[in-house]
Amino acid sequence: MKLYDYWRSSAAFRVRIALNLKGLSYEQVSVHLVKEGGQQHSADYKSINPQAFVPCLVTDKGESITQSLAIIEYLEETVPAPALLPEGALQRARVRSLADIVACDIHPLNNLRVLQYLVGDLNVASEDKNQWYNHWIYKGFDALEIRLAQEDATGNFCHGDTPTLADICLVPQVYNALRFNCDMVSYPNISRINDNCLKHSAFEKALPENQPDAV
Ligand SMILES: N[C@@H](CCC(=O)N[C@@H](CS)C(=O)NCC(=O)O)C(=O)O
| Cβ–Cβ under 8 Å, residues 148 and 158 | yes
Residue 125 pLDDT: 98
Q: Is the CB of 112 under 6 A from ligand 1?
A: yes
Neighbours of 24 (CB within 10 A): 13
Give φ, ψ of 3 to 5 degrees.
Answer: -115, 120
Q: Is the CB of 53 under 6 A from ligand 1?
A: yes
Measured distance CA(125)–CA(133) in Å, rounded: 12
Q: Which of 140, 165, 154, 162 is nearest to 189 (CA)?
A: 154
The preferred substitution site among 32, 53, 112, 117 for testing ligand 1, maximizing ligand atoms within 8 Å of CB, is 53
Those residues whose C-beta lies under 8 Å from the C-beta of residue 195, and which sit 6 or more positions away, are: none
Q: What atom of ligand 1 comes closest to residue 66's alpha carbon?
A: 20
| Cβ–Cβ under 8 Å, residues 52 and 112 | no
Residue 196 pLDDT: 98
Residue minimizing CA distance to atom 1 of ligand 1: 67
| Cβ–Cβ under 8 Å, residues 86 and 93 | no
Say whether the peptide bond before residue 55 is cis (omega within 30 degrees of 0): yes
Residue minimizing CA distance to atom 13 of ligand 1: 53
Widest pairwise Cα distance in the chain:
49
Residue minimizing CA distance to atom 17 of ligand 1: 113
Give φ, ψ of 203 to 5 degrees.
Answer: -80, -45
- Residue 66 Cα to ligand 1 midpoint, Å, equals 10
Residue 87 pLDDT: 98
Q: Which of 160, 116, 111 is nearest to 11 (CA)?
A: 111
> What are the 10-residue block averages of pLDDT along the chain, 215 residues in total?
98 98 98 96 97 98 97 98 98 98 98 97 97 98 98 98 99 98 98 98 98 96
Q: Is the CB of 11 under 6 A from ligand 1?
A: yes
